[in-house]
A and B are shown apart, each in its own frame.
Chain A
Amino acid sequence: MSTGNTFLVLSAFLASGVEFVEALTIVLAAGLARGWRSALTGLGAATLVLAVTVAALGPALTVIPLQGLRLVVGGLLLVFGLQWLRKAILRASGYKALHDEDAIFARELADARGAAHLERGGVDWYGFTLAFKGVLLEGLEVVFIVLTFGSAQGSVPLAAVGAAAALVLVAGVGIAVRAPLARVPENWMKFAVGVMLTTFGIFWSAEGAGADWPGSDASLLGVLGFVVLSSILCVRLLQRERRSVLRTVEA
């Protein structure tokens, strides 16, 4: 498998995995608080909407010229990836609270238990809506990742394989433990996803703009190294600055 395709599967796996963990947290909260029938109906309905979205958007993307697609997708991924990377760096340097799946689960569960019961056709409306919205929103993000990564690299199926592997892993562990996946190092996964998205974003948008990378696909490794080192440098600089500010406040 080429460097580009290996990166593609790995990126789709990591990025989709983060979204699946978040969707699982919401479905578990809906199921435990409002009953599994409502939560699973919401999950099924959202999956159906997502399948229709993929069927409608997937073929449309393949008719767009590859260079134009790489320019637009690369630009979008770059903006999107920098957003993830900025949050991950702020978390790693202590400027932002770490993402806590346990706390989010407890909050969703308390909200779901506190809401009034309204049943339609044997389905609790709150549980259905909670699971439906959660899966639809997180699922749309996965669809965006798979279609953009896949079409820009010229292989939507490979990106789908990465996402499917993440789905199987997260769903399997979720069913086995029926608890939020708090042990998944989500903050580090988000850091890795931010790095991958930014790397692909730089690579594709430069290619789409007409620049030629020395070494073609192999230069992805160089871009990856640059983004990793830049991110670590930012974390170190911000950590040092934060410690200095804290010392000044304490003095």
Chain B
Amino acid sequence: MSRLAAFGRFWWDFVIGDDWVVAVLVVVAIGATAALAAAGVAAWWLLPLAVLAVLWLSLRRAIRSA
């Protein structure tokens, strides 16, 4: 069980890392892009802007918690 937990922890640390909020916001941004695209609206611009906002938010969180 401890090996399984260690394996899970490795992948969590590897993919999600220190800030799980980034993962949640990225999923929300991708969902919003999919919704816009499904509605027939040009959606390519949304993710770059969302990523910039998420990056800045995550940097602020990292500095605050340091």
Q: Which residues does A use to contact B, with CB under 8 Å?
A: 71, 74-76, 78-80, 82-83, 85-86, 89-90, 95-96, 137, 140-141, 144, 198, 201-202, 205-206, 208-214, 219, 223, 226-227, 230-231, 234, 238
B15 near A205 with CB under 8 A, answer no
Our pick among A141, A202, A214 for the contact of B47 (Cβ within 8 Å) is A202
In the complex, what residue of chain B is closest to A78 when comparing beta carbons? B26
Residues of B within 8 A of A140 (CB): 10, 14
Residues of B within 8 A of A144 (CB): 14
Residues of A within 8 A of B43 (CB): 206, 209-211
In the complex, what residue of chain A is closest to B51 when comparing beta carbons? A202
Known: A83-B19, A209-B37. A202 touches B48 (CB 8 A): yes
Interface of B is mostly: helix
Inter-chain CA distance A76–B66, complex, in Å, is 26
B17 within 8 A of A: yes
Inter-chain CA distance A76–B26, complex, in Å, is 9
Residues of B within 8 A of A79 (CB): 15-17, 22-23, 26
Interface string of B29-46 (1 = CB under 8 A from A): 011011011100011101
A209 near B58 with CB under 8 A, answer no
In the complex, what residue of chain B is closest to A75 when comparing beta carbons? B30
Residues of B within 8 A of A76 (CB): 15
Known: A83-B19, A205-B30. A90 touches B59 (CB 8 A): yes
Known: A80-B15, A95-B66. A85 touches B37 (CB 8 A): no
B52 within 8 A of A: yes
B59 near A80 with CB under 8 A, answer no
In the complex, what residue of chain B is closest to A242 when comparing beta carbons? B63
With A86-B58, A140-B14, A226-B48 known, 6 other A-B pairs at CB within 8 A are A79-B16, A83-B19, A86-B19, A210-B43, A211-B43, A212-B42
A75 near B27 with CB under 8 A, answer yes
